[in-house]
Chains A and B, each alone.
Chain A
């Protein structure tokens, strides 16, 4: 019984993984690009050309340091991460501490000195609202 359950579960797992991989390779490129570009704008993120070209000062970033209004300056860009905070996998206190601040170093050396993943970089881009105004 347990042996059958193990075999069935393991085979189903690999079938699902292969299915996801196949969908990635076989999905038409145009659909994939559209899909990746859509979510942020569909969800109402202000990633329009106008906002992307705007610039914000670090002082202005500093006024958005609450859990429901959280901006961060990372690598010369300003991000509004208010919508993303509940989805961040770490203890909320870890990321809340960086709201309203220059967080490039924290982003590049999160936790135990390792960078965020490539997927996190792509995800972050969806929340960009402006360039950071240089002092």
Chain B
């Protein structure tokens, strides 16, 4: 199977897994000869339960699983989709049962919903639904700080457990139910213990810190035990601990690797974008850092065809990692776009890039600094020879990628030849 076909097959795995779990649940409990609204209530309840379990499984942050499912970003995208769809179906569940009561006798509708008329297995269901509601309300709250948003996100996990317990105690000890419950608990346990508490993380120590641009540092990290096998273009999730004068925020955030050497030492570039990354700007050598990953497949296939690389600001990091690791095997044009201000702007690695370009005949470097407004994308692309034959790799702000994509299409670059790196973890 070719790389492209394999990638397509992997992209279908997450939705297929979600669909399989959902169909298994609905099929097991599919109503036969019941009233229409009761049937709707049962199907929506089981479909919602299956999708909730799938959503939990897609939340697991593990490098091999992420690669199998086509990448962590894709996995998380399906985690969000399954979670929201499950919520919508679970809202229908009690309402459909109430409508079933209404069809029988209107006063039965409220008796079906009224928690005072129910026993604790149904209170569990209500509790689960209310926690899902609370967790999703905070998920969609735009202005919530990341740390508070993350705490509220755990409420969703508690909601799922309550909901599954509601089904389990209501319907008895069945193998399918037990399997779903165990899958959900295993996914939550892995996420909490292995990922968030870092039990499966690899310890590294900061050995050097260099300022690379305004509000951007590059930290060199040496492994304390087994090193991660990272390729240029990949990213790791890093949680920086405390140092002698430095107090880390301890949260895992994604950072693209900007350097890898043959002894497993890594370099990561950190731009001050939020409270935690601003604090990391003052990090010092000696700090212990826990890494998870590596994740991502950006720059996986840069040796098969002529390349056009476009980097915006901090987006230069995967490309500098690739250039530091190997000389270009294909004719490669690197367009580096950055903002210029009186402090120097967000240009990083400029001298090193010029040096690398002078030593590599396959590499053409185009540097473009802009003061305000969008970069002159059309002018820059017009300068690239044989553009339609190239594979395009882009990394930068979303606005830059949105401007570049249609401009590339207009110049005959196929959609399959356009690759970009984006981080969408919320």
Q: Spell out A's residues near B (CB within 8 Å).
A: 2-3, 5-7, 9-10, 12-13, 16-17, 20-21, 23-24, 27, 31-32, 35-36, 38-39, 86-87, 89-91, 94, 111-112, 114-119, 122
B365 beta carbon closer than 8 Å to chain A: no
Q: What is the chain A residue whose CB lies nearest that of B104?
A: A39
B113 beta carbon closer than 8 Å to chain A: yes
A111-B122 in contact given A5-B84, A16-B95, A17-B113 (Cβ < 8 Å): no
B91 beta carbon closer than 8 Å to chain A: yes
A82–B267 CA distance with the chains assembled, in angstroms: 71
A2–B169 CA distance with the chains assembled, in angstroms: 32
B172→A32 contact, CB < 8 A: no
Pick the residue among B31, B113, B169 that contacts A21 (CB under 8 A). B113
Sample 8 A-B pairs with CB under 8 A, ordered by A number: A3-B140, A16-B98, A32-B107, A90-B171, A111-B170, A115-B119, A117-B122, A119-B117
B170→A35 contact, CB < 8 A: no
A39-B113 in contact given A2-B84, A3-B140, A111-B172 (Cβ < 8 Å): no
Interface size on B, residues (CB 8 A): 41
B169→A112 contact, CB < 8 A: yes
A6-B172 in contact given A20-B109, A114-B119 (Cβ < 8 Å): no
Pick the residue among B31, B106, B136 that contacts A32 (CB under 8 A). B106
User: What are the residues of chain A within 8 A of B33 when measuring CB–CB?
Assistant: 86
A90–B31 CA distance with the chains assembled, in angstroms: 11
A111–B32 CA distance with the chains assembled, in angstroms: 22
B111→A119 contact, CB < 8 A: yes
User: What are the residues of chain A within 8 A of B35 when measuring CB–CB?
Assistant: 87
Pick the residue among A24, A89, A118 that contacts B170 (CB under 8 A). A89
Q: What is the chain A residue whose CB lies nearest that of B174?
A: A91
Q: What is the chain B residue whose CB lies nearest that of A22?
A: B110
Proximity bits, B85-107, A CB within 8 Å = 1, else 0: 00110010001001000101111
A16–B37 CA distance with the chains assembled, in angstroms: 15
B171→A13 contact, CB < 8 A: no
The 7 closest A-B pairs by CB, nearest first: A24-B110, A35-B105, A32-B107, A3-B140, A13-B91, A20-B109, A117-B119
User: What are the residues of chain A within 8 A of B154 when measuring CB–CB?
Assistant: none
B140→A6 contact, CB < 8 A: yes
